[in-house]
Structure 1
Amino acid sequence: MAAVEPLRMPPLSDGGDEVLTWLKRMRDEQPLWADERGVQHVFRYDDVQAVMSDPARFSSNIGRVMPGFDPEQVSANLASQDPPEHRLLRQLVSQAFTPRTVTGLRPRIAEITRELLDAAPEGEFDFVEHVAHPLPVTVIAELLGVSPGDRAFFRSCADALLGTRAEAVSAAEHAKALAEANKELQEYLSAEARRRRADGSGGLIGALTAAELDGRRLTDLQVATFSGLLLTAGHITITLLLGSTLLALRDNPEAEARLRKDRSAVPAAFEESLRLRPPFHRVVRVSTQDVEVAGGVIPAHRLVMASTLSANRDDRQFPDPDRFDVDRRPNRHLGFGHGIHFCLGGPLARVETEIALNLLFDEFTELEVTGEPAFHDSEFYGPKQLTVSARR
């Protein structure tokens, strides 16, 4: 008797066509699935939202079941913390990274975007390379207060952490380069935290070192870890969302025509793009006890993968879920997470994308995606190369 091929999630390298079909099948037929490694996967909107909303039963600290994680690093990472420590860390970070901080960046974000658009080649160019990738790296570097002389190093770390690599580089070589980039970035940011704590210099790193609540302050490692998280998560989110939004407009030219005429609809277009193509297509939790989900039971102490990409396409929550609809109301997507770990950088992503899209429409009378985009294949959902033809 022939062996049965194990059920596997398809790769994302085709832009998601195959995986979206697979996710619909899983939502309808197998909403709770254990893969060959014993990892538990959930796919329906209500179940994904429940996993993200219940830190008592679904911990963010994956170090519980993953050997090799440095406990000190885990304890310094806001994204890996559960209550009550998470609440304190988030309150301290929020003292420095405020809505006013993001609003104050608007003129500089517009200036950086204009500079990138002015420098883009005439005719065809890679939109990711020339606009979507450098924009968030530059903004976050300036927000943190990274000195101009260090920005080439900062960007090289961002390149590695985004996961881009030449075809000739093996997965093992890339993993080694990724670990080294993360180590170098952590060392750099920790040194910056120590320096600014000593001399009182500014930028977000300086503000983080000065934040205080009930006599408690962030450690240098916590400042460095949050700064690195802002770089990686913020950079990836904005880079991929800008490219994904252009793809959505390619497939829906009537939506682009409307946005060019009615710029008030640009924020709604961003939310719809985030729903359809969330850059982080799943979140990882650890079950702390046996939990009933989707008609089955997730055993205690298992990794749980909650698919935000699947949840955002669930017709139980979203009518006509595969349609790009700038008039979708309400749009309770999970692209920025849910619950206590709702993305702190969401307001910055919204501001950057809104400014960038408006300036693209101002600068180019025509902006057409040409050729076949290249996509990330596993960790992130979105284009890593996107050739466009532009007419100023």
Structure 2
Amino acid sequence: MTATTTANPLDLLDNPFWYRDLPPERDVHSLHDGVYAITGNAAVRAALSHPDILAEHPLKASARAFGPNVLDADGSEHRSFRALLAPALSRGRIAEYQQQLMPDLVDALVDELLGVESSAFYDTYAHRVPYGIVCTILGIDRELESRFHSLTRPLARLLDFPTVESEQTHLNTAELLALIEEQRAERSGDGDSLLEKIERTRERKGITLSDSEVRSTALLFFIAGTETSSAFITSLVYCMGRQMFGMEELADETVRDAFIDETLRMFPPVQTAVRFAVEDVDIAGVTIPRHSAVLTSIAGANRDPRIFAHPDRFDVTRSHKDSMPFAAGAHSCPGMRLAKAEFGVLIDSIAGRCSQVAVTQDSRALESQAFAHPVDFTVRFTTK
């Protein structure tokens, strides 16, 4: 059976912990206007992996803004888009980034943080490393990093539900695509940028995607790779400042990795994934009618008390095998290994150079739109 609620989806999602406002005895909830919400861990995984619950919908703001792209496509088209990104996200390439690219970016950030007490970590610092990494991978001049940051951040809301769409977001998209093309033309022939790699991959594998679709995929790689990481780096720093961990404990690789996994469980940067049922679908014994919008709560899945004992407690000793911070199914994040490598290098540097990271003021508030992260807190970095 399904639980029917009078909740308006737009009002419901104003609360970052919206899944707690729905009847806890059910995993599938019928909302207004043909919208369904899915909250339990197993049900969310089943929905995200179901072949008839898709990401593609012609009225999605991201599809209108970017055209055919890796986030909104399904089936063979989606596999083609992911194949374009594969060369930049292979294990060998990530190991290369980890050794040759990330340390300098991270150390430059930590240089700025030492001795600082900041109430604006997300806005001022969190984007530095991810933007540096993705600019380098895409072959974009690092001097344009601030410009890309100012243009990109508003576009994150195009990927949200509810979407925030305006004439400005479309202007930003057009300018970013033009900048990406300009940079590709300037660097044409050096062979090392992501754009040239994915163009070679397209030709070698006979993938039938247009130049504009390639550019849109590169832009979405930029947005997803930078804004999700910026949000999660904020969550990492927040948890470092809130939890009873000495820096010497985080210097232990096993503890560090467990710390990253537990922070990802509690603060997944994408809290809600929007999908669409193209046929009648059974999830957890409930039939979701075709043409329904489906809100899958990744945050709810990661705090399901049937899977995670005391789910609101930060516990690095728990198993994370059922955590899905990078979603699940065909649309699971292709950059998850790159992101976790980035987070590990960052923690290593902070733990090695700071005697303490402390949250000194905290409203315990969470921004759940445009990639989730704690807000309205002050953090202090004490030099060793």
- Taking structure 2 as the reference length, the TM-score comes to 0.85
Asked if the contact 1:285/1:305 (under 8 Å) is kept, the reply is yes
Structure-2 residue corresponding to 1:340: 330
TM-score normalized by structure 1?
0.84
Q: Describe the shift of the 1:109–1:40 C-alpha distance in structure 2 as closer, same or farther (beyond 3 A).
A: same
Closer/same/farther in 2, CA of residues 68 and 93 from structure 1, 3 Å limit: closer
Residue pair 1:208, 1:218 contacting (<8 A) in 2 also? no
Structure 2 residue matching 1:28: 3-state secondary structure? coil
* Offset from partner CA, 1:277-318 (integer Å, 9 cap, x none): 111001111101112223432110121111100011112222
Q: Distance in 2 between matches of 1:338 and 1:149?
A: 36
Contact 1:210 1:217 in 2 (8 A): no
Cα distance in 2 for residues equivalent to 1:183 and 1:384:
30
C-alpha distance in 2 between matches for 1:187 and 1:175: 19
Question: Retained in 1: the 8 A contact 2:271–2:368?
Answer: no
Letter in 2 for 1:245: L
The count of aligned residue pairs is 369
1:387 aligned residue = 378
Is residue 112 from structure 1 mapped to residue 108 from structure 2 by the alignment?
no
Residue aligning to 1:52: 48
User: How far is the alpha carbon of 1:324 from its aligned partner?
Assistant: 1.7
SS in structure 2 opposite 1:84? helix
**Matches of 1:195 and 1:261, distance apart in 2:** 42
> 1:167 corresponds to which residue?
none
Q: In 2 relative to 1, CA 222–205 (structure 1 residues): closer, same or farther, beyond 3 Å? A: same
Q: In structure 2, what is the Cα distance between the partners aligned to 1:217 and 1:147?
A: 29
Q: For residue 157 of structure 1, what is the amino acid of its counterpart?
A: L
The question of 1:61 aligning with 2:71 is answered no
1:26 aligns with 2:22: yes
- After superposition, give the CA deviation of every residue in 1:311-340 in whole Å (9 maximum; x if it has no partner): 111122223322222222243211111121
Match among 283, 288, 302 for residue 278 of structure 2:
288
For 1:153 and 1:50, how far apart are their aligned partners in 2?
40
Measured at CA, do residues 138 and 284 of structure 1 come closer, stay the same or move farther in structure 2, by a change above 3 Å? Answer: same
- C-alpha distance 216-194 of structure 1, shift in aligned 2 (>3 A): farther
Alignment of 1:1-392 (within 5 A): 6=7, 8-9=11-12, 11-12=14-15, 16=16, 19=17, 22-24=18-20, 26=22, 28-55=24-51, 57-63=52-58, 66=59, 73-75=66-68, 77-106=69-98, 107-120=100-113, 122-125=115-118, 126-162=120-156, 175-193=166-184, 199=189, 201-211=191-201, 212-216=203-207, 218-253=209-244, 255-256=245-246, 259-260=249-250, 262-372=252-362, 375-384=366-375, 386-392=377-383
- Shift of residue 62, structure 1, vs aligned partner: 1.9
Runs of at least 5 residues in structure 2 that lack an aligned partner in the other structure: 158-162
The alignment yields a C-alpha RMSD, in angstroms, of 2.9
Report deviation, 1:223: 2.2
Unaligned runs of 5+ in 1: 164-170
Q: Deviation at 1:214?
A: 3.9
Question: 1:388: how far off?
Answer: 1.1
